[in-house]
Structure 1
Amino acid sequence: MTDSTKYLQALEEFIVLGKSAPGAAAVANIQKCISSPNCFVFAELLELPNVRALQNDPDHAKWLEALKLFAYGSYMDYKHQQTTSPNSLPDLSPPQLTKLKQLSLITIASTEPHKLTYPSLQSLLDIPNTRLLEDLIISAIYASLLDAKLDTANQRVEVSSTAGRDVAPGDITNMIAALESWSSSCSSVLTEIEAQIASIQASAVTQRKEQLAYEKAVDDKRKTAEKDGSKGKRVIDHDGLGLGPGEDEMDLDDGPFDDQGGARKTRKGGNRMFSRKR
């Protein structure tokens, strides 16, 4: 069972009650829901007609606002409204405040991760000491709201992932805009990568052509050199009548004559000599 399914199942009993509980009964249902230790999503309850109708009752509207706060607000919002609009929200019980602080850890980790230090969290959540802060974080981890580790040496909370929270109606437009911006950025990066790949492939083809041309030129020069080297050599056999099978070639030396005026002829690599009289 996934965490989302577990949270929805925990909310189900409050949805059933909320369908048939108007007015004060709807308020009592909300109070139980935001106090439940297993319920961390509230959007479906907010959509019920009996719950939405509370906004028209001055005595009950503050509990509708409290439910919205648990759905997509934070403890910091609660403190701010208590200061600026004291009558807009009800006073919350200790279990309700603890749950709101647990949910606020998700918001802080998702939107302001640089504030996940012990001193910052104690200030934001009005927690007087480190021990109580660590207890709150551990309870959020056990509730599967956070995947996190406590770095006590550096007084930090290392959060790997968080559970999802309900999305406020006004945030949907912002989310769509953010996703469209992200998609556009991905397309730009992909286009740039494709251009770089095409450039690398074209460069590789050019280099290969140049290598083949170079190898051909070298091979042509080698063949030409071998052909030119064989043209200037005259060879005769031992008797001047042509070589027989397996016999050695003789170079004709047109250098100095021997004592009788004959040209000397020497066999390469051999010791025999013969001369021809003029």
Structure 2
Amino acid sequence: MAMDAERRQAELIEQFSAQAAALSSAPQLAALVLEATSHPALFAFSELLTLPALSKLTGTQYASSLDLLRLFAYGTLKDYKSNSSALPALLPDQARKLKQLSVLTLAESTKVLPYDQLMQELDVSNVRELEDFLINECMYSGIVRGKLDQLRRCFEVQFAAGRDLTPDQLTNMIETLSDWLGTSDNLLHHIQEKIKWADTTSELNKKHQKEFEDRVEEAKKSVKKLNNVSRQTMTYGGMTTFSLNLEE
């Protein structure tokens, strides 16, 4: 399911990107922003922000549409309400979408969301309305999975789709990955040194083992040679004694 959702997001982004590239006027581009932010299946907007075509909105009477798109990429309903005078009015589909995105933002920081916090953030007046929204607009749409706990008055999040990373978050992630890569390189170097040491030690052990075996072999040869000399001496002594006995 997650892979299907990601594929659907990619398809929609590609679709809106192609449409934006074919448009030239600010009113048309503003209408495209309205369509994208109202689409029930689109929850990622940062790639649309980077489209060269949308930069045509800057400095026009439709520039606030670009600000609204940025809000849908990184912001919440609470952010919109604090700056609503400078932004276009929300259509019902946009308001619902921004509430969904707000739930995803809250789920990033904690997996137990109190009803009171959710009602305040989503501008919902009662528990029934909140639970209906979480079930019908969030869980059924697949952006979150969880359990409604009426006794504890909270929503326990089991899964939540990720939102667009802000530029600061992306920078921090790159720094974290760079640090991890550096640590991994150091660890790999340390492991390679250990392997090299182990190989060297193994070769020395093999060399010592060979030297020991050679010494043992030499010792065996020496013992064998001494045994042969001893037998020859004993044989020679016996023959001498026999000869003397005959003369007597």
TM-score when scaled to structure 1?
Answer: 0.60
Structure 1: unaligned runs, 5 residues or longer: 191-278
Is 1:126 equivalent to 2:126 in the alignment? Answer: no
Alignment of 1:173-252 (within 5 A): 173-179=171-177, 183=180
| Alignment partner, residue 55 of structure 1 | 58
SS, match of residue 2 in structure 1: helix
Counterpart of 1:26, as a letter, is L
When you count helix as a share of all residues, which structure comes out higher? 2
| Alignment partner, residue 66 of structure 1 | 68
Deviation at 1:178, TM superposition (A): 4.7
Give, in whole Å, the separation in 1 of the partners of 2:162 and 2:78.
18
> Percent identity of the aligned residues?
37
| Alignment partner, residue 214 of structure 1 | none
Per-residue CA distance 1:64-104 (angstroms, 9 max, x = gap): 0111111121112112223xxx22x1111121011001011
Counterpart of 1:25, as a letter, is Q
Shift in alpha-carbon separation, 1:178–1:159, aligned structure 2, 3 A? farther
Per-residue CA distance 1:6-53 (angstroms, 9 max, x = gap): 122233322221111131100001101111111111222222111122
SS, match of residue 170 in structure 1: helix
Contact 2:44 2:73 in 1 (8 A): yes
SS, match of residue 150 in structure 1: strand
| Alignment partner, residue 77 of structure 2 | 75
When you count strand as a share of all residues, which structure comes out higher? 1
| Alignment partner, residue 143 of structure 2 | 145
Which has the larger Rg? Answer: 1
Contact 1:74 1:100 in 2 (8 A): yes
| Alignment partner, residue 3 of structure 1 | 5
| Alignment partner, residue 40 of structure 2 | 37
Give, in whole Å, the separation in 1 of the partners of 2:177 and 2:29.
36
Task: Extract structure 1 runs of 4+ deviating beyond 6 A.
Answer: none
RMSD: 2.2
Give, in whole Å, the separation in 1 of the partners of 2:171 and 2:141.
30
Shift in alpha-carbon separation, 1:119–1:66, aligned structure 2, 3 A? same
SS, match of residue 44 in structure 2: coil
Contact 2:102 2:121 in 1 (8 A): no
Deviation at 1:170, TM superposition (A): 2.7
Per-residue CA distance 1:194-241 (angstroms, 9 max, x = gap): xxxxxxxxxxxxxxxxxxxxxxxxxxxxxxxxxxxxxxxxxxxxxxxx
Give, in whole Å, the separation in 2 of the partners of 1:70 and 1:12.
18
Counterpart of 1:61, as a letter, is A
| Alignment partner, residue 92 of structure 2 | 94
Is 1:117 equivalent to 2:120 in the alignment? Answer: no
Contact 1:103 1:145 in 2 (8 A): no
Give, in whole Å, the separation in 1 of the partners of 2:132 and 2:72.
20
Shift in alpha-carbon separation, 1:127–1:16, aligned structure 2, 3 A? same
Give, in whole Å, the separation in 1 of the partners of 2:163 and 2:117.
22
Shift in alpha-carbon separation, 1:162–1:16, aligned structure 2, 3 A? same
Structure 2: unaligned runs, 5 residues or longer: 188-248
Shift in alpha-carbon separation, 1:137–1:24, aligned structure 2, 3 A? same
SS, match of residue 34 in structure 1: helix
SS, match of residue 91 in structure 1: coil
Contact 2:147 2:156 in 1 (8 A): yes
Counterpart of 1:73, as a letter, is G
Contact 1:122 1:128 in 2 (8 A): yes
